[in-house]
Amino acid sequence: MLILNFAHPLTDEHLAQIEKLTGQKPERVVVINSQIDPQQPLAPQVSAMADAAGLTPEEWQTLPLLINPPALNFSAVALIAELHGRMGYFPPCIRMRPVVGPDGQRVVPPRFEVAEILNLQAIRDEARRSRA
């Protein structure tokens, strides 16, 4: 499994959590800068982010990919649309969450953990059932 990381760095602990959730050991993590210029159109910047993964059209369609999307919401949604176009399906995504202590408060200093792997294609397929 190849992880395309458009967000904060993933630690060894994160990778172990991902392996536990997916049953697959991540073979490689490609770190991709997701900083954007808010004064410029977003779509070309997101396309450049996807290009930075360095994958061929065949690899986009055949490699087992897992996406850690950008934290910036509109970058994330535009990137998912871009990747769907390249892959032909919605990619699975990592959902991170803050670590909380026994008192229910976020730990200091802040840390994050892998909350779940979002199967976006399954979510989309299930939503299709509610169409009239």
| pLDDT tens digits, one per residue of 50-75 | 999 999 999 999 999 999 999 999 99
Task: Return the number of other C-beta atoms located less than 10 Å from residue 115's C-beta.
Answer: 13
pLDDT of residue 131: 84
Inform me whether the pLDDT recorded for 85 exceeds 90. Answer: yes
The pTM (predicted TM-score) of the whole model is 0.94
Q: Show the domain range for 20.
A: 2-128
DSSP states of 107-129: PSS--EEEEEEE-HHHHHHHHHT
| pLDDT tens digits, one per residue of 97-106 | 999 999 999 9
For residues 72 and 49, is the Cβ–Cβ distance under 8 A? Answer: no
- Residue 35: φ, ψ to 5°: -65, 140
Residues 5-32 have a mean pLDDT of 97
| pLDDT tens digits, one per residue of 104-127 | 999 999 999 999 999 999 999 999
pLDDT of residue 11: 97
Inform me whether the pLDDT recorded for 132 exceeds 90. Answer: no
pLDDT of residue 20: 98
Secondary structure (3-state) at 55: coil
Domain count of the fold of the chain: 1
Inform me whether the pLDDT recorded for 80 exceeds 90. Answer: yes
Average pLDDT, the chain: 96
Partners of residue 113 on adjacent β-strands: 97
Matching residue, tokens 């199967």: 119
